[in-house]
Structure 1
Amino acid sequence: MAGRIRRADIDELRSRISIVDVVAEHVTLKTAGVGSMKGLCPFHDERTPSFHVRPAVGRYHCFGCGEDGDAFQFVMAMDHTSFQETVERFAAQLGYTLHYEDGKPQEETSGRLRLLEASKAAEAYFREQLLTPGAALGQRFLGERGFDLAAAERFGVGFAPASFDALKSHLRGRGFTEAELLGAGLLSEGQRGSYDRFRGRLIWPIRDVAGATVGFGARRLADDDKGPKYLNSPETPIFRKSQVLYGLDLAKRDIARGHEAVVVEGYTDVMACHLAGVTTAVATCGTAFGVDHIKVLRRVLGDVSTTDTRALGRVVFTFDPDEAGQQAAARTFAEEQRFAAQTFVAVPPEGLDPCDLRLERGDDAVRRLVQQPRPLFEFMLRRIVAQHDLETVEGRVAAMRRAAPVLQSIRDRALADGYMRTVAGWLGVSPEEVRAAVRQTGPRPTPGAGDAGRPGGAPAHPPADVALGQLERDPASRLERDAVAAMLQQPAVLGRDLAARGASAYVANPSLAVVRDGVLATLDAFEASDFSERVAQAVPAELVPLVRALAMSPIPQTSKEGVTAYVRGIVGSLVDRDILRRKAELLGSLQRLGATDPEASKRLQEQLLALERERRSLRAE
């Protein structure tokens, strides 16, 4: 087992990694002023972006939950990897050879990376097998559904031979251990030992948002296969079905660009949609659409609350009209409030799923399906009303009572009023009767209420470290906070003289005063690109989070000239305030002296004149 990775290798990798590229695999980032980008935090559920990335310093910081770090820490937090595993993964991606403290170059990768490599090798094997005569059943299945080999290649579709250990033998020959193949979910264990989990089935690779193969979905083909219709990979260190959406690696850029996602029910539906031009389609992998899927999708959508409905994204769900599809719609509706985006339902005609719809009616029919959906609220309300006999008073009252909680849950009150009138029309009652039923319904709990990750709110318990939001809100504290942040972020813009004067100015807030002292102690490196990190190393450990939060705080300007004016202006205001404080102290001393010591009075007056000249000079600048 290799020892610790050399520090020089870690620093070299860090210099080669773009934190924007790393974060953008999970978060849709937008420009937030000079040298800063922002998006929805991947670590807690939120509706307005508080997650900031500063490429120049290679760090991220969330002003909502306090998460902070560099590219390595981001991947460790997202993928639950150790530091060594994360460094080794980046090294493998960049083709960089690591060295360890024993002096030997990298000879083996970490456990998680080995599982990813095993899955990648298995995908390649399955894809090769699809082209063999033994895969005739799989080839016919694809052809009957309108997919040629080019489509199979595009989505990485493969075939698992009907063999007890064909994959196992192949990958063991490639150097993978049986334990690694079991850990990746490629083998299962029985009384006679391990065997291939997937046999005689069509295979779809399931990839994470970054495009790494983490699991597989397998479709039964032969009549004598007594297993389930679809067999997926088990839960493994690299595959958690509740956190993965099939096709997201292919759809993410178009989802982020168009702020629209289409959620379908199966692998072939995703293929059909993409081939028909609906390139924002994704699907769950053997589980119901849930909270974790929403978190993943919202980050890619850039799903942000806004009063402008034109700026909201769209999420379109397709459900089969059968009972199972209706139940899936109800489960999805239960979590709908977690989206800021507008949610819709597209019900295929005559019970056709998107794959069959494309096969029978062509690509245009698939595009029309998702272009003309019904709002999810309307879909659910119609479903409720349809379950009651509206020819009777009892049926109408029961339908109204069942619809009331749905109407109560609509956040947009104007929209809620509109649906109340609509439901009243369906039931043949007055809108006031429906409103009365809604008033009798208690408020619907906010999804996730009480959780640190509840949407649109701050964590239930703020982080223990010192956060910007915990500083006093009076103008004096805001000035100190903003000036110290400017000194941390743009010391070179200030120049050595103004930076030194700002770092020596009086700061009343104790925490900010310590950070200011760190700036002063590090001033010799004020032109360094990692200046804020050097300041973080100079302050006590408990104030490091505050330094990093200040260093990530957005500057309210976008142009280079605007940033220069703002930074010099805010630091100048802090210095100006300090000059006034010093003048007040000198005037007090002068008054106390009176006529008892003319020489001392003269010196104090000279100091007062010097301060006034300094103040005028500063304001002129």
Structure 2
Amino acid sequence: MRFSPTFLDEIRDRVPISSVIGQRVSWDRRKTNASKGDYWACCPFHGEKSPSFHCEDRKGRYHCFGCGVSGDHFRFLTELDGLSFPEAVERIADMAGVAMPARDEQAEAREKQRASLTDVMEMAASFFQERLQGADGAKARAYLRDRGLTPATQQSFRLGYAPDSRNALKEYLASKGVAKEQMEACGLTVFEDVPVSYDRFRDRIMFPIPDSRGRIIAFGGRAMSPDVAAKYLNSPETELFHKGNVLYNFARARKAVGKEGAVIAVEGYMDVIALAQAGFENAVAPLGTALTENQMELLWRMAGEPVLCFDGDQAGLKAAWRAADLVLPAIQPGRTARFALLPEGKDPDDLVRADGPDAFRAVLAEARPLAELLWMRETAGGVYDTPERRAELERRLREITSRIRDESVRFHYQQDMRERAQSFFGAQRGGGRERGGSGQGGAGRQGGQWSRAGAAHRSAITESLGRSALVKRAGEVMSVKEATIIVALVNHPALIDDYFEHVEFLDLANSDLRKVHGALLDVLAHDPTVDRNAIVETIDRNGCHDVWERAVALVRRARQWPALEGAAIEDVRDAFQQTLHLHRTQRILHRELKQAEAALATDPTDENLRHLVEIQAQFRDAQATEALIEGFGISSGRAGRS
């Protein structure tokens, strides 16, 4: 049976190649980077003891550097399992949940029709591009110029203009020999209450929508007239175009992910294009609707941890929560999402035009993990001052985490939520005891509301949050604790084996140290037995030499001797374990502090202010503990030796 390229592409796109190969091999834990869809194993085609077999989800390919075999999903099954090609296709289709095509003689005819329809869409795209540069495209060009899009950017995304005419495109295509049935099948012409079809897109800036192979399959049109009911209009569902299965800019972003290591999902065409012009070529967008499961699968094909970007207002938060509910059941080790909340009233296009690319980078740096967003949603604005209310929160958290299908991830989410709840309830009970008696040091209660001093404090915090809570603070500081952890890992690579699970997902506040951490993981992925000198060389090659030198100097000044070269390994392990524990505790408190800030920013109630003040006090206590313990230097009885 002959299968259409469209069908083969569809089932390949739905099934990561690692899912196929992972049924026959065991992935090497240290070389594999599941979050990037990058996997290593001992080759199943020839005997070997060290892993040289590599597969990459983003490309859908495998290759063995030992014996030279390579191929895709189907070739793996035909060569290793001895399946025929139709049997291999049937197995992948079953994994994808896609029915096999009917075995009829019309299959090839339909594929030929699809090919002819893509030719028609290409003609339409060229027509719209030409009209944008013509006399009737002057107003559209002025609009794009006012939006800050350069001619090069417009050309790169093949932007066009549909004239304010009922027949301009129809007549052009007819002159090229395109039948009216083909125009209708492409969604380029439409009937309403008249017997003759006419152009669907009129007086609109046109955004061609490519498929995963770069072929134009649909259009989006932005109305130039303010009187039009639909500001944005997409092509209808056609043989080529199924809106819920397509991401705008997918093909270009997939190439950029190889350089950036991440993918960003934003709301619309203009956001994607403005970000690309600002240097963020790894952005995609759904087509005027909320993300679908199939679109999330496409995002995960590109990166294990896509960043979903939403406006920082109430509508944006609600959209983020809907996306979180969509993502939650399907998360797996190395497959999740982060949520970036923009300053209120701004979308990515506004932000990069007004404040430049660094402002958007700051938003991405503050992206929240899925677990944090769910916790924020369930606790924001709530008062848990009775056992019944606390039990109700715990019940909701159990119900939410029970939706996760992956057993190991579900276990860790349940543990994480228990720890958050225990800390949260302890803070509320502690705060209640402090408030006992006659009041709070002069900031007492008056008629159920805080005094003027308390209200002024709340107003000041709320104003500060409105300005900066969702944007990364300038003048980033490198902490002694984080510098000590990174310097210890580089100088003593044996720690990585001892604490691999914590090291792999180390949560660092400092962006420079995150780059060094990334370089460390990168070199380990290629050679798990690497020594200190090779790690330092990789850090230098990755442009992080100055950061490394600054971290070492900071550790020396703080007298954190076990982190440096030459320390006894038993001293190193004891001190590192305690410092890592302190770091993880503080990062949990930091997350809770951000949640409390966000809750107050969106709902400035007395309870939210009280909770923020309590978390701030706990955070200050933890910082004071860090200053007293001084990381390695005092935390271990042997830590003073070198």
TM-score interval for Structure 1 and Structure 2 normalised by the shorter chain: 0.5 to 0.7
Q: Which amino acid in the other structure matches residue 189 of structure 1?
A: F
Aligned-residue offset at 1:168: 0.7
- Match of 1:212? 215
Partner of 2:198: 195
The residue number in structure 2 matching 1:500 is: none
Does the CA-based 8 Å contact 1:347-1:369 persist in structure 2?
yes
CA–CA distance in structure 1, aligned partners of residues 279 and 168 of structure 2: 37
AA aligned to 1:315 is: P
1:55-454 alignment runs, 5 A limit: 55=71, 59-61=75-77, 69=85, 110-192=112-194, 193-226=196-229, 228-256=230-258, 259-301=261-303, 313-336=304-327, 337-340=329-332, 341-389=335-383, 398-409=392-403, 411=409, 413-428=411-426
Deviation (angstroms), 1:293? 1.2
How far did 1:413 drift? 3.3
Structure number with the bigger relative contact order (C-alpha 8 A, sep ≥ 6) is 1
Go from structure 1 to structure 2 and tell me whether the alpha carbon gap of 1:55 and 1:235 turns closer, same or farther (over 3 Å shift): same
Correspondence 1:470-549 to 2 at 5 A: none
CA separation in 1, counterparts of 2:322 and 2:199?
A: 34
SS of residue in 1 equivalent to 2:165: coil
Within 2, Cα distance between the matches of 1:283 and 1:263? 5
TM-score (norm 1): 0.52
Q: Determine helix, strand or coil for the equivalent of 2:265.
A: strand
> For residues 549-568 of structure 1, what are the alpha-carbon distances to aligned partners after superposition, in whole Å with 9 as ceiling and x for unaligned?
xxxxxxxxxxxxxxxxxxxx
Mapped partners of 1:180, 1:189: distance in 2: 14
Q: Distance in 2 between matches of 1:412 and 1:429?
A: 26
Q: Quick check: 1:388–1:396 contact (8 Å CA) kept in 2?
A: no
> What SS does structure 1 have at the residue aligned with 2:280?
coil
Q: List runs of 5+ in structure 2 lacking aligned partners.
A: 19-38, 47-52, 61-67, 430-642
Preserved contact between residue 28 and residue 256 of structure 1 (Cα < 8 Å): no
**Amino acid in the other structure paired with 2:418:** M
Q: Amino acid of the residue matched to residue 75 of structure 2?
A: R
Quote the Cα distance in structure 2 between the aligned partners of 1:56 and 1:261.
23
Output the CA distance in 2 between the equivalents of 1:150 and 1:217.
Answer: 20
- Aligned pairs (5 A) from 1:4-83: 33=43, 38=55, 54-55=70-71, 59-61=75-77, 69=85
- Residue 242 of structure 1, CA deviation: 0.9
Conservation of the 8 A alpha-carbon contact between 1:208 and 1:244: yes
Task: Give the aligned partner of residue 479 of structure 1.
Answer: none
Distance (whole Å) between structure 2 residues aligned to residue 64 and residue 267 of structure 1: 43
Give the whole-Å Cα distance in 1 for the aligned partners of 2:241 and 2:308: 24
How many angstroms apart in 1 are the aligned matches of 2:330 and 2:72? 33
Give the Cα–Cα distance (whole angstroms) in 2 for the partners of residues 194 and 423 of structure 1: 61
Deviations 1:234-276 (A, max 9, x none): 1100100111110111011233565522111111111122222
Distance 1:163 1:71, change over 3 A: farther
One-letter identity of the residue aligned with 1:200: D
Deviation at 1:187, TM superposition (A): 1.0
Distance in structure 1 (CA, Å) of the matches to 2:80 and 2:414: 30
Structure 1: distance between partners of 2:356 and 2:106: 47
1:168-224 deviation line (CA, Å, top 9, x unaligned): 111111111110011011111122221111111111111111111110111122122
Whole-Å separation in 2 of the counterparts to 1:41 and 1:80: 26
Distance 1:264 1:241 in 2: 16
Counterparts of 1:39 and 1:280, CA distance in 2: 18
Q: Displacement of 1:232 after TM fit?
A: 0.6
Which string of whole-angstrom CA distances, capped at 9 and with x for unpartnered residues, describes residues 290-347 of structure 1? Answer: 111122233333xxxxxxxxxxx32110112334323322332223232432311000
Residue identity in the other structure for 2:226: D
Cα displacement string for residues 3-60 of structure 1 (whole angstroms, at most 9, x for unaligned residues): x99xxxx9xxx9xxxx99x9799967878747987555999xxxxxxxx995499835
Q: Counterpart amino acid of 1:342? A: T
C-alpha contact (below 8 Å) 2:78/2:85 kept by paired residues:
no
1:406 positional shift: 2.9
Shift of 1:351: 3.1
Distance 2:82 2:231 in 1: 45
Change (3 A) 1:399 1:140: farther
Aligned equivalents of 1:57, 1:285: Cα separation in 2: 29
Deviation string 1:423-463 (CA, Å, 9 cap, x unpaired) is: 443455799xxxxxxxxxxxxxxxxxxxxxxxxxxxxxxxx
Paired amino acid for 1:282:
V
* TM-score, normalising length: structure 2: 0.51
Is the alpha carbon distance of 1:27 and 1:424 closer, same or farther for their aligned partners in structure 2, counting shifts above 3 Å? closer
The residue type equivalent to 1:421 in the other structure is E
Whichever residue aligns with residue 85 of structure 2, its letter is G
Larger radius of gyration: 1
Letter in 2 for 1:235: E
Relative distance call for 1:416 and 1:39 in structure 2 (3 A) is same
**C-alpha deviations, 1:369-391, integer Å up to 9, x for none?**
22331112211221221243457
Distance in 2 between residues matched to 1:361 and 1:253, nearest whole Å: 27
Contact 1:59 1:70 in 2 (8 A): no
Residues 67 and 355 (structure 1), Cα distance of their counterparts in 2 relative to 1, 3 Å cut? farther
Gaps spanning 5+ residues in structure 1: where? 44-51, 90-108, 302-312, 432-621
CA contact (8 A) 1:246 1:283 kept: yes
* Aligned-partner Cα distance in 2 for 1:389–1:139: 54
Distance change >3 Å, CA 381–CA 230, structure 1 → 2: same
Aligned residues: 377
Identity %: 29
**How much has 1:131 moved relative to structure 2?**
1.5
- Contact 1:261–1:281 (CA under 8 A) maintained in structure 2: yes
Instruction: Tell me, yes or no, if the aligned pair for 1:188 and 1:194 is still in contact at 8 Å.
Output: yes
Aligned partner letter, 2:362: R
**TM-superposed deviation, 1:70:** 8.1
- Whichever residue aligns with residue 59 of structure 1, its letter is R
Q: In 2 relative to 1, CA 362–56 (structure 1 residues): closer, same or farther, beyond 3 Å?
A: closer
SS in 2 for 1:231: strand
Q: Secondary structure at the match of 1:349?
A: coil
Please identify, of 175-184 and 380-389, the stretch whose mean Cα deviation from structure 2 is larger: 380-389
- Distance between the aligned counterparts of 1:290 and 1:224, measured in 2? 31
Structure 2: distance between partners of 1:394 and 1:137: 62
CA distances 1:453-510 after superposition (whole Å, capped 9, x unpaired)? xxxxxxxxxxxxxxxxxxxxxxxxxxxxxxxxxxxxxxxxxxxxxxxxxxxxxxxxxx
Give me the whole-angstrom Cα distance separating, in 2, the residues matched to 1:66 and 1:289.
39
CA distance in 2, matches of 1:180, 1:40: 36
